[in-house]
Homo-oligomer: A and B are copies of this chain.
Amino acid sequence: MSVNIYIDHNFYDHNAYGYENHKNIKSDDCCIEDSYNSNSESSKNNLSVNNPNDLVYLTNSKDLSKLDHVSQYAPLKGEDRIDYSNYCAIVIDVLRASTTISTLLELYDKVYITNSIEKTMNFPNSIKMGERNGIKIDEFDYGNSPIEILKDKNKIIDFTKNGGNLVLTTTNGTRVLNSIISDDIYVGSINTAEAVAKEVYNTAVEKDKDIVLIPSHRCGDFAIEDYIGAAIIVENILKIPGHNITNQLEQLIPLRSTIKFDWKNTILNSKSGQGLRDRGYSYDVLYSVQENICNNVGKYNKKESYIYKV
């Protein structure tokens, strides 16, 4: 049986499925880029709740439900979800949800994920991780930062050895995971590209499925780092000896072209990369572009909302 590889365009394309469901949401509701580029002084002078820049300050507020609402799109629901039942799906959010999850799975074999700050706050016996707009949430233990996590890795390992849970709240990543239907949903990062490529390819062959790579992007806006992450995973699939992928190669040329020159620099200078660097997370960006430094594969258990190490 041959395996086909596809790239999903639903989560950024201005006229595709995912966007269509959200087009009536004001663009101001989608605030990550805006807050990255905001001028702190002018933001401070305008604290109306309609100003997306406020979110940076709202993280100091106790009104967490408002923060949940404003700072993300909801996932697609019911029949609106995208049916990838016949696919092994790889969801990619390089900066930084996928990379953070890959890092955590090196320390422990299960990470609960949610898009709700409130749910995270109420999660029993847990290390709480996450942020909104590149800023750690005050009540949480860590931001969405693999480097912060690695600095405390022994502490985190000890906590899990004593029965503690890890909970990560993400926006785009969780939205995409819950917007698709498949029994085989994986987390893809550049750090785990080879391991994910091999596991997913073998599962696809075994179950006679195709493979779809899903760049998460940001609030319907294109994020080149997720597209490049998909390209690196594809290259690792195509390196598998004796693979039987032949008929989608022309379609993959644009994807694969992005990594034929200095793609690390492309990511460093992307909107997301630049935004994180401006906020002092340069090491996270540099860490996120390191190929195959982790050897785990994360798979999604949708029923119980966690990623587990295969």
Q: Which residue of B lies closest to A251 (CB)?
A: B222
When distances are taken between beta carbons in the complex, the residues of chain B under 8 Å from A14 are 6
Contact with B along A4-33 (1 / 0, CB 8 A): 001011101111110000000000000000
Q: Which chain A residues numbered 243 to 301 have a C-beta less than 8 Å away from chain B?
A: 248, 250-251, 253-255, 257-258, 260-261, 266, 270-271
Q: How many angstroms between the C-alpha atoms of A14 and B87 in the bound complex?
A: 12
A104 within 8 A of B: no
Asked if A127 CB lies within 8 Å of chain B CBs, one says no
Mark interface residues in A31-74 (1 if CB within 8 Å of B CB, else 0): 00000000000000000000000000000000000000000000
CA distance A222 to B222 in the complex (A): 21
Q: Which residues of B contact A17 (CB under 8 A)?
A: 15-16
Closest B residue by C-beta to A4:
B14
13 CB contacts below 8 A, A to B, read A6-B14, A9-B13, A12-B251, A15-B82, A222-B251, A223-B250, A253-B258, A254-B254, A254-B255, A254-B258, A257-B257, A257-B258, A257-B261
A224 within 8 A of B: yes
Find A227's partner among B82, B227, B254 (CB 8 Å cutoff). B254
Q: List residues 66-111 of chain A with CB under 8 A from any CB of chain B.
A: 82
A271 to B258, CA, bound (A): 21
Q: Give Cα A17–Cα B90 distance, bound, in whole angstroms.
A: 22
A224 to B260, CA, bound (A): 17
The distance from the CB of A186 to the nearest CB of chain B, in whole angstroms, is 18
Chain B residues, CB < 8 A from A266: 253
Which residues does chain B contribute within 8 Å of A8, judged by CB atoms?
15
What's the Cα separation between A9 and B257 when bound, in Å? 18
Q: How far, in angstroms, from A248 to B13 measured CA to CA in the complex?
A: 12
Provide the residues of chain B in CB contact with A255, threshold 8 Å. Answer: 254
A250 to B271 CA separation, bound complex (whole angstroms): 8
Give the complex CA separation of A130 and B27 in angstroms. Answer: 46
With the chains together, A248 CA to B14 CA distance in Å? 11
Cα–Cα, bound, A6→B255 (Å) = 17
**Residue among A10, A15, A16, A266 having the largest count of chain B Cβ atoms under 10 Å:** A15
Known contacts A221-B251, A253-B266; 4 additional CB pairs below 8 A are A12-B251, A222-B250, A250-B271, A260-B261
Closest Cβ of chain B to A260, distance in Å, is 6
- Measured between alpha carbons, how far is A13 from B248 in the docked complex, in Å? 12
Q: How far is the CB of A172 from chain B (nearest CB, A)?
A: 15
Minimum CB–CB distance for A251 against chain B, Å: 4
Alpha-carbon distance A260/B258, docked complex (angstroms): 10
